[in-house]
Amino acid sequence: MKKIQLEKAGVQCQLQFFKKTDEVIKPSLFFFLKKGDLILWDYENHSQYKLDEPYIDRLIEIASGKPIVEDDITRHLREEGLLVKEKEETREWGWDELSWIFHQGTKNPPRLESDANNWFEAYLQNCQSKPSPKEAPSSSKGEAISLAPIDKKLFQSKSLYEVCQERMTSRTFSGEKINFEVFSSLIGATFGYSSAPWGKNGNYEIYAKHKVSPSAGGLHPFEFYIMVHHVENIDPGIYKYDPQAHCLYPFEKGDFREQLIHSLAGQNFVKDLSFGVFFVADFSRVWWKYEHSRAYRQVLLDAGHQSQTCLLLATSLGLLTWPTGAIQDKEVEKLLKIENDKFSPIFFVGIGTGKPNSFNEEIISILKSNR
Protein backbone atom coordinates (compact mmCIF):
# COMPACT_ATOMS: atom_id res chain seq x y z
CA MET A 1 0.00 0.00 0.00
CA LYS A 2 1.33 3.42 -0.92
CA LYS A 3 0.37 6.60 0.90
CA ILE A 4 -0.65 9.28 -1.58
CA GLN A 5 -0.61 13.06 -1.43
CA LEU A 6 -3.99 14.63 -0.57
CA GLU A 7 -5.13 16.25 -3.76
CA LYS A 8 -7.67 18.92 -4.39
CA ALA A 9 -10.78 17.70 -6.12
CA GLY A 10 -11.45 18.71 -9.68
CA VAL A 11 -10.97 17.40 -13.13
CA GLN A 12 -7.31 16.61 -12.55
CA CYS A 13 -8.05 14.20 -9.72
CA GLN A 14 -10.60 11.92 -11.32
CA LEU A 15 -10.19 8.52 -9.81
CA GLN A 16 -7.97 6.49 -12.08
CA PHE A 17 -9.86 3.25 -11.73
CA PHE A 18 -12.88 4.56 -13.66
CA LYS A 19 -11.54 3.28 -16.97
CA LYS A 20 -13.02 4.27 -20.31
CA THR A 21 -15.74 1.69 -20.78
CA ASP A 22 -19.37 2.13 -21.58
CA GLU A 23 -20.35 1.59 -17.95
CA VAL A 24 -18.48 2.60 -14.82
CA ILE A 25 -18.86 2.35 -11.08
CA LYS A 26 -20.84 5.35 -9.93
CA PRO A 27 -18.39 8.04 -8.77
CA SER A 28 -20.31 9.21 -5.69
CA LEU A 29 -19.44 6.19 -3.57
CA PHE A 30 -17.08 5.49 -0.77
CA PHE A 31 -16.08 2.33 1.00
CA PHE A 32 -15.36 1.77 4.67
CA LEU A 33 -14.89 -1.06 7.12
CA LYS A 34 -17.38 -1.62 9.91
CA LYS A 35 -17.04 -4.54 12.32
CA GLY A 36 -15.15 -6.53 9.70
CA ASP A 37 -17.63 -5.83 6.88
CA LEU A 38 -16.83 -3.78 3.84
CA ILE A 39 -19.57 -1.20 3.43
CA LEU A 40 -20.27 0.66 0.22
CA TRP A 41 -21.94 4.03 0.77
CA ASP A 42 -23.76 5.71 -2.08
CA TYR A 43 -23.70 9.12 -0.45
CA GLU A 44 -25.73 10.80 -3.16
CA ASN A 45 -28.63 8.42 -2.69
CA HIS A 46 -28.18 7.94 1.06
CA SER A 47 -27.89 4.15 0.70
CA GLN A 48 -25.41 1.71 2.20
CA TYR A 49 -24.61 -1.86 1.22
CA LYS A 50 -22.71 -4.58 3.03
CA LEU A 51 -20.53 -6.16 0.34
CA ASP A 52 -20.08 -9.90 0.03
CA GLU A 53 -16.91 -11.25 -1.52
CA PRO A 54 -18.33 -11.86 -5.04
CA TYR A 55 -19.53 -8.24 -5.11
CA ILE A 56 -16.15 -6.97 -3.89
CA ASP A 57 -14.41 -9.02 -6.60
CA ARG A 58 -16.78 -7.75 -9.28
CA LEU A 59 -16.31 -4.10 -8.26
CA ILE A 60 -12.53 -4.57 -8.36
CA GLU A 61 -12.79 -6.16 -11.81
CA ILE A 62 -14.90 -3.31 -13.17
CA ALA A 63 -12.74 -0.68 -11.51
CA SER A 64 -9.62 -2.16 -13.06
CA GLY A 65 -11.17 -1.93 -16.53
CA LYS A 66 -11.75 -5.61 -17.19
CA PRO A 67 -14.67 -6.48 -19.50
CA ILE A 68 -17.89 -6.49 -17.51
CA VAL A 69 -19.32 -9.99 -16.94
CA GLU A 70 -23.09 -10.10 -17.44
CA ASP A 71 -24.67 -12.02 -14.55
CA ASP A 72 -26.94 -11.50 -11.51
CA ILE A 73 -24.29 -9.54 -9.63
CA THR A 74 -23.77 -7.06 -12.44
CA ARG A 75 -27.52 -6.76 -12.96
CA HIS A 76 -28.00 -6.12 -9.25
CA LEU A 77 -25.31 -3.42 -9.21
CA ARG A 78 -26.99 -1.82 -12.22
CA GLU A 79 -30.46 -2.00 -10.63
CA GLU A 80 -29.16 -0.29 -7.52
CA GLY A 81 -27.69 2.46 -9.66
CA LEU A 82 -24.12 1.57 -8.68
CA LEU A 83 -23.10 0.83 -12.23
CA VAL A 84 -23.82 3.74 -14.53
CA LYS A 85 -23.16 5.00 -18.02
CA GLU A 86 -19.89 6.88 -18.08
CA LYS A 87 -20.27 10.64 -18.12
CA GLU A 88 -17.68 13.32 -18.58
CA GLU A 89 -16.51 14.76 -15.27
CA THR A 90 -17.94 18.28 -15.04
CA ARG A 91 -17.64 19.17 -11.40
CA GLU A 92 -15.98 22.39 -10.38
CA TRP A 93 -14.88 22.09 -6.78
CA GLY A 94 -11.94 23.78 -5.06
CA TRP A 95 -11.73 21.60 -1.97
CA ASP A 96 -10.85 17.97 -1.43
CA GLU A 97 -12.99 14.83 -1.64
CA LEU A 98 -13.95 15.04 2.03
CA SER A 99 -15.87 18.28 1.63
CA TRP A 100 -17.35 17.01 -1.65
CA ILE A 101 -18.66 13.92 0.12
CA PHE A 102 -20.09 16.05 2.94
CA HIS A 103 -21.62 18.52 0.49
CA GLN A 104 -23.19 15.90 -1.76
CA GLY A 105 -24.01 13.54 1.08
CA THR A 106 -25.97 16.21 2.94
CA LYS A 107 -27.90 17.35 -0.12
CA ASN A 108 -31.44 16.13 -0.69
CA PRO A 109 -31.82 14.12 2.52
CA PRO A 110 -34.78 11.73 2.61
CA ARG A 111 -37.93 13.73 3.21
CA LEU A 112 -40.02 13.21 6.30
CA GLU A 113 -43.33 14.66 5.25
CA SER A 114 -45.27 12.98 2.50
CA ASP A 115 -47.25 15.86 1.07
CA ALA A 116 -48.30 19.42 1.76
CA ASN A 117 -51.52 18.34 3.46
CA ASN A 118 -50.04 16.27 6.23
CA TRP A 119 -46.49 17.55 6.68
CA PHE A 120 -47.08 18.70 10.25
CA GLU A 121 -48.69 15.42 11.36
CA ALA A 122 -45.73 13.54 9.86
CA TYR A 123 -43.28 15.90 11.58
CA LEU A 124 -44.99 15.55 14.96
CA GLN A 125 -45.24 11.79 14.69
CA ASN A 126 -41.55 11.61 13.86
CA CYS A 127 -40.61 13.76 16.90
CA GLN A 128 -42.86 11.81 19.25
CA SER A 129 -41.44 8.49 18.14
CA LYS A 130 -38.00 9.35 19.56
CA PRO A 131 -36.76 9.92 23.09
CA SER A 132 -35.28 13.41 23.47
CA PRO A 133 -31.92 13.63 25.26
CA LYS A 134 -31.41 14.89 28.79
CA GLU A 135 -29.33 18.03 29.31
CA ALA A 136 -25.76 17.25 30.36
CA PRO A 137 -25.19 17.92 34.08
CA SER A 138 -22.90 20.86 34.77
CA SER A 139 -19.50 19.90 36.16
CA SER A 140 -19.07 22.93 38.39
CA LYS A 141 -16.11 23.41 40.70
CA GLY A 142 -17.63 25.89 43.11
CA GLU A 143 -20.58 28.01 43.98
CA ALA A 144 -22.65 29.51 41.21
CA ILE A 145 -22.27 33.24 40.60
CA SER A 146 -25.66 34.86 40.18
CA LEU A 147 -25.61 37.46 37.45
CA ALA A 148 -27.37 40.80 37.73
CA PRO A 149 -30.84 40.96 36.16
CA ILE A 150 -30.90 42.13 32.55
CA ASP A 151 -31.21 45.90 32.43
CA LYS A 152 -32.89 46.65 29.12
CA LYS A 153 -32.24 50.39 29.47
CA LEU A 154 -28.55 49.66 28.81
CA PHE A 155 -29.40 48.66 25.24
CA GLN A 156 -31.45 51.71 24.40
CA SER A 157 -28.90 54.37 23.47
CA LYS A 158 -28.78 53.47 19.75
CA SER A 159 -31.29 52.27 17.19
CA LEU A 160 -30.94 48.79 15.71
CA TYR A 161 -29.97 50.40 12.42
CA GLU A 162 -27.18 52.37 14.09
CA VAL A 163 -25.95 49.27 15.89
CA CYS A 164 -25.80 47.31 12.61
CA GLN A 165 -23.85 50.13 11.00
CA GLU A 166 -21.45 50.33 13.93
CA ARG A 167 -20.74 46.59 14.34
CA MET A 168 -17.27 45.67 13.19
CA THR A 169 -14.52 43.23 13.96
CA SER A 170 -12.01 44.89 16.20
CA ARG A 171 -8.46 43.70 16.81
CA THR A 172 -7.25 46.38 19.21
CA PHE A 173 -8.34 45.63 22.76
CA SER A 174 -7.23 47.39 25.93
CA GLY A 175 -8.13 44.82 28.58
CA GLU A 176 -10.26 47.06 30.78
CA LYS A 177 -12.64 45.71 33.39
CA ILE A 178 -16.20 45.46 32.23
CA ASN A 179 -18.94 46.55 34.56
CA PHE A 180 -20.79 43.60 36.19
CA GLU A 181 -24.27 44.84 35.21
CA VAL A 182 -23.21 45.36 31.60
CA PHE A 183 -21.61 41.90 31.46
CA SER A 184 -24.66 40.25 33.07
CA SER A 185 -27.08 42.00 30.73
CA LEU A 186 -25.10 41.04 27.63
CA ILE A 187 -24.80 37.38 28.62
CA GLY A 188 -28.45 37.12 29.69
CA ALA A 189 -29.85 39.01 26.70
CA THR A 190 -27.79 36.99 24.22
CA PHE A 191 -27.70 33.47 25.59
CA GLY A 192 -30.62 33.44 28.03
CA TYR A 193 -34.30 32.95 27.43
CA SER A 194 -36.42 35.51 25.72
CA SER A 195 -39.01 37.30 27.79
CA ALA A 196 -41.33 37.21 24.77
CA PRO A 197 -43.45 34.07 24.24
CA TRP A 198 -43.39 31.98 21.05
CA GLY A 199 -46.27 33.90 19.67
CA LYS A 200 -49.46 35.59 20.69
CA ASN A 201 -51.75 32.78 19.56
CA GLY A 202 -51.27 30.23 22.32
CA ASN A 203 -49.14 29.04 25.20
CA TYR A 204 -46.37 27.02 23.60
CA GLU A 205 -43.81 27.56 26.36
CA ILE A 206 -44.78 24.12 27.68
CA TYR A 207 -42.87 22.58 24.74
CA ALA A 208 -39.70 24.61 25.03
CA LYS A 209 -38.61 28.03 26.15
CA HIS A 210 -38.11 30.76 23.65
CA LYS A 211 -34.71 32.33 23.01
CA VAL A 212 -33.61 35.50 21.26
CA SER A 213 -31.78 33.80 18.37
CA PRO A 214 -33.47 31.33 16.05
CA SER A 215 -32.36 27.70 16.18
CA ALA A 216 -33.16 24.77 13.87
CA GLY A 217 -36.04 22.84 15.39
CA GLY A 218 -35.90 25.12 18.46
CA LEU A 219 -33.21 22.78 19.80
CA HIS A 220 -30.57 25.32 20.82
CA PRO A 221 -27.65 22.90 20.78
CA PHE A 222 -25.02 25.24 22.27
CA GLU A 223 -23.44 25.50 25.69
CA PHE A 224 -21.58 28.69 26.43
CA TYR A 225 -18.19 28.63 28.13
CA ILE A 226 -17.05 32.06 29.18
CA MET A 227 -13.37 32.94 29.44
CA VAL A 228 -13.28 35.78 31.95
CA HIS A 229 -10.20 38.02 31.92
CA HIS A 230 -11.42 41.38 33.20
CA VAL A 231 -14.95 41.50 34.52
CA GLU A 232 -15.97 43.31 37.70
CA ASN A 233 -16.81 40.97 40.64
CA ILE A 234 -15.74 37.82 38.77
CA ASP A 235 -12.33 36.18 39.16
CA PRO A 236 -10.46 35.35 35.97
CA GLY A 237 -11.18 31.82 34.81
CA ILE A 238 -13.46 29.60 32.79
CA TYR A 239 -17.18 29.56 33.54
CA LYS A 240 -20.25 27.95 32.08
CA TYR A 241 -23.43 29.95 31.65
CA ASP A 242 -26.69 28.47 32.93
CA PRO A 243 -29.56 30.21 31.12
CA GLN A 244 -32.14 28.62 33.43
CA ALA A 245 -30.79 30.29 36.55
CA HIS A 246 -28.98 33.17 34.77
CA CYS A 247 -25.78 32.35 36.62
CA LEU A 248 -22.20 31.28 35.93
CA TYR A 249 -20.79 28.00 37.13
CA PRO A 250 -17.06 28.16 37.84
CA PHE A 251 -15.33 25.57 35.77
CA GLU A 252 -11.67 26.41 36.36
CA LYS A 253 -10.30 29.57 37.95
CA GLY A 254 -7.04 31.17 36.85
CA ASP A 255 -5.35 33.02 34.03
CA PHE A 256 -5.83 31.04 30.80
CA ARG A 257 -4.83 33.76 28.34
CA GLU A 258 -1.75 31.93 27.02
CA GLN A 259 -3.77 28.76 26.42
CA LEU A 260 -6.47 30.83 24.78
CA ILE A 261 -4.03 32.38 22.29
CA HIS A 262 -2.74 28.91 21.49
CA SER A 263 -6.30 27.58 21.14
CA LEU A 264 -7.20 30.29 18.66
CA ALA A 265 -4.36 29.77 16.22
CA GLY A 266 -1.95 32.24 17.84
CA GLN A 267 -4.14 35.33 17.31
CA ASN A 268 -2.44 37.11 20.16
CA PHE A 269 -4.72 40.14 20.52
CA VAL A 270 -7.12 37.87 22.46
CA LYS A 271 -4.95 38.43 25.53
CA ASP A 272 -6.45 41.91 25.90
CA LEU A 273 -10.08 40.86 25.62
CA SER A 274 -12.21 41.51 28.69
CA PHE A 275 -13.90 38.18 28.14
CA GLY A 276 -14.78 35.72 25.41
CA VAL A 277 -17.37 33.05 24.79
CA PHE A 278 -16.84 29.59 23.31
CA PHE A 279 -19.91 28.19 21.57
CA VAL A 280 -19.75 24.46 22.26
CA ALA A 281 -22.25 22.36 20.33
CA ASP A 282 -23.90 19.37 21.95
CA PHE A 283 -24.74 17.42 18.79
CA SER A 284 -26.91 14.96 20.74
CA ARG A 285 -29.48 17.72 21.22
CA VAL A 286 -29.95 17.66 17.47
CA TRP A 287 -29.34 14.15 16.20
CA TRP A 288 -32.17 12.54 18.21
CA LYS A 289 -34.58 14.64 16.13
CA TYR A 290 -32.75 15.20 12.87
CA GLU A 291 -30.99 11.93 12.18
CA HIS A 292 -29.42 12.84 8.86
CA SER A 293 -25.98 14.50 8.83
CA ARG A 294 -27.65 17.36 7.00
CA ALA A 295 -28.40 18.67 10.50
CA TYR A 296 -24.66 19.29 11.03
CA ARG A 297 -25.13 22.20 8.65
CA GLN A 298 -27.97 23.55 10.82
CA VAL A 299 -25.75 23.51 13.89
CA LEU A 300 -23.20 25.70 12.10
CA LEU A 301 -25.96 28.03 10.94
CA ASP A 302 -27.26 28.23 14.51
CA ALA A 303 -23.78 29.29 15.67
CA GLY A 304 -23.84 32.11 13.13
CA HIS A 305 -27.16 33.39 14.39
CA GLN A 306 -26.16 33.21 18.04
CA SER A 307 -22.93 34.94 17.25
CA GLN A 308 -24.56 37.80 15.35
CA THR A 309 -26.98 38.40 18.23
CA CYS A 310 -24.03 38.57 20.59
CA LEU A 311 -22.07 40.92 18.31
CA LEU A 312 -24.99 43.31 17.87
CA LEU A 313 -26.00 43.41 21.52
CA ALA A 314 -22.37 43.94 22.59
CA THR A 315 -22.05 46.76 20.04
CA SER A 316 -25.20 48.38 21.38
CA LEU A 317 -23.55 48.39 24.83
CA GLY A 318 -20.56 50.23 23.38
CA LEU A 319 -18.29 47.17 23.52
CA LEU A 320 -15.91 45.94 20.83
CA THR A 321 -16.23 42.49 19.34
CA TRP A 322 -14.07 39.90 17.61
CA PRO A 323 -15.51 36.64 16.22
CA THR A 324 -13.36 33.69 15.18
CA GLY A 325 -13.82 30.28 13.71
CA ALA A 326 -10.07 29.55 13.82
CA ILE A 327 -10.55 27.08 16.61
CA GLN A 328 -7.79 24.56 17.25
CA ASP A 329 -10.15 21.82 18.26
CA LYS A 330 -7.73 19.67 20.23
CA GLU A 331 -6.44 22.64 22.23
CA VAL A 332 -9.90 23.98 23.01
CA GLU A 333 -11.14 20.54 23.97
CA LYS A 334 -8.20 20.27 26.36
CA LEU A 335 -8.85 23.73 27.80
CA LEU A 336 -12.56 23.06 28.32
CA LYS A 337 -12.02 19.41 29.28
CA ILE A 338 -14.29 18.15 26.55
CA GLU A 339 -13.92 14.39 26.36
CA ASN A 340 -17.06 13.25 24.61
CA ASP A 341 -17.30 13.36 20.81
CA LYS A 342 -20.84 14.65 20.96
CA PHE A 343 -19.51 18.03 22.18
CA SER A 344 -17.56 20.25 19.84
CA PRO A 345 -16.31 23.84 20.10
CA ILE A 346 -17.57 25.60 16.99
CA PHE A 347 -17.08 29.32 17.43
CA PHE A 348 -15.63 31.99 19.70
CA VAL A 349 -16.65 35.60 20.24
CA GLY A 350 -14.29 37.94 22.05
CA ILE A 351 -15.58 41.09 23.75
CA GLY A 352 -13.74 44.04 25.18
CA THR A 353 -12.85 47.68 25.28
CA GLY A 354 -10.24 49.50 23.22
CA LYS A 355 -10.18 51.11 19.82
CA PRO A 356 -12.58 50.24 17.01
CA ASN A 357 -9.71 49.31 14.69
CA SER A 358 -9.83 46.42 12.28
CA PHE A 359 -6.07 46.06 12.66
CA ASN A 360 -3.73 46.42 15.61
CA GLU A 361 -0.29 48.06 15.50
CA GLU A 362 1.44 44.75 14.79
CA ILE A 363 -0.77 43.94 11.80
CA ILE A 364 -0.42 47.49 10.44
CA SER A 365 3.38 47.42 10.62
CA ILE A 366 3.47 44.05 8.82
CA LEU A 367 1.09 45.39 6.16
CA LYS A 368 3.29 48.49 5.71
CA SER A 369 6.47 46.47 5.41
CA ASN A 370 4.83 44.31 2.74
CA ARG A 371 3.85 47.23 0.49
- Which residues bind to ligand FMN, rule: CB under 6 A? 168-169, 171, 267, 323-326, 358
Q: Which is nearer to ligand FMN, 69 or 366 (CB)?
A: 366
Polymer length of the chain: 371
254 has which bridge partners?
A: none
In the complex, the smallest distance separating the C-beta of residue 193 from ligand FMN, rounded to whole angstroms, is: 25
The single-letter DSSP state of residue 336 is T
Closest distance of CB 311 from ligand FMN, Å: 8
Task: Kindly state the smallest distance separating residue 169's Cβ from ligand FMN, in Å.
Answer: 3
Distance separating alpha carbons of residues 329 and 245, to the nearest angstrom: 29
Q: Which helix (H) or strand (E) holds 349?
A: strand 343-352
- Residue 325 Cβ vs ligand FMN, minimum distance, rounded to whole Å: 4
In three-state secondary structure terms, 173 is strand
- Report in angstroms how near the CB of residue 265 gets to ligand FMN at its nearest: 7
Please give the Cα distance from 366 to 371 (Å, whole number): 9
Q: Nearer to ligand FMN by C-beta: 169 or 293?
A: 169
We find the least distance from the C-beta atom of residue 268 to ligand FMN, in angstroms, to be 11
* For ligand FMN, the closer CB: 45 or 308: 308
Least separation in angstroms between residue 171's CB and ligand FMN is 6
Q: Shortest distance, CB of residue 358 to ligand FMN, whole angstroms?
A: 6
Helices (H), the chain: 53-63, 72-79, 97-105, 119-128, 160-166, 180-191, 257-263, 284-287, 294-316, 329-335, 361-369
Cβ closer to ligand FMN: 179 or 324? Answer: 324
Residue 350 amino acid letter:
G
| 127/168 with CB nearer ligand FMN | 168
Q: Which is nearer to ligand FMN, 171 or 211 (CB)?
A: 171
Shortest reach from residue 269's CB to ligand FMN, in Å? 8
- In the chain, helix, strand, coil percent, each to 5? 35, 20, 45
User: Pick from 316, 305, 346, 278: which is nearest to 186 by CA?
Assistant: 316
- Measured between alpha carbons, how far is residue 360 from residues 267, 320, 367 in Å? 11, 13, 11
Nearer to ligand FMN, 172 or 274 (CB): 172
Measure the CA–CA gap between 46 and 50, rounded to whole angstroms: 14
The answer to whether the beta carbons of residues 260 and 270 sit under 8 Å apart is: yes
Please say which residue, 25 or 299, places its beta carbon nearer to ligand FMN. 299
| DSSP assignments along 206-244, one per residue | TT---BSS--GGG---EEEEEEESSBTTB-SEEEEEETT
Instruction: Specify the residue, 237 or 323, whose C-beta has the smaller distance to ligand FMN.
Output: 323
The counts of H helices and E strands in the chain are 11, 14
